[in-house]
Amino acid sequence: MNTFWLKVAGIAVGVVAVVVIFGMFGGGSGDSKPQEPEKGFSDMVDRDREFLTSVPDIPDPEAVTQQNTALQNQPTQPAVQPTAPAQPVEEPLPKFRELEFEEDIEAQRLMEWVITQRSMGRLPVTTYGEMVRKCRDIKKRWPGTKYAYQATKALADLLPKYHKMYNITAEETDLKNF
């Protein structure tokens, strides 16, 4: 009986076993950091929802009044003060127009549609066309509202190639208009 092939198979199994054992116990360099899991579609959907539904925090007028009163009641500083470096000027926070209850519900519904279409547009076969149309509809029907602000953010977040594809202008993506 010819045992040559039996010996070749035994050596091959032995080599594979050594490689597997070496890879499990001795293959790492010891200082490797655990890798972050890859971001999947659901992570991007969550990011879209968080990004598009956020609006700047507008301070409560009563809290601002109390803060201003506290600042006015502080003792005054001596007239001679060393010059301090200029502080950066803060952008004024947008003031959003309030909607009637029915309009608010309709705007919320359309904004949910925009968020869903934004996430679906990331898939290979779908496009952002419907999202762009709904954003324009929101901005046209409810200008100056938080929904128009969110729709503007959604349009501004698209890649430049989609700005060309859907003829999105710089005015449509300018968040300073609020």
Whether residue 96 is contained in a domain is answered as no
Whether residue 37 is contained in a domain is answered as no
Whether residue 69 is contained in a domain is answered as no
Which has the higher per-residue pLDDT, 25 or 98? 98
Whether residue 101 is contained in a domain is answered as no
Where in the sequence is the domain holding 133, given as residue range(s)? 106-178
Total count of domains within the chain: 1
Q: Read off the pLDDT of residues 47-77 as tens digits, 9 standing for 90 and up.
A: 888 988 888 766 555 554 555 555 455 555 5
pLDDT band at residue 166, thresholds of 50, 70 and 90? very high
pTM above 0.85, yes or no: no
Q: What is the average pLDDT score of the chain?
A: 80
Whether residue 137 is contained in a domain is answered as yes
Q: Output the CA–CA distances (angstroms, integers) from residue 24 to 18, 78, 169, in the order listed.
A: 10, 72, 55
Burial class (CB in 10 A: 0-12, 13-18, 19+), 130: middle
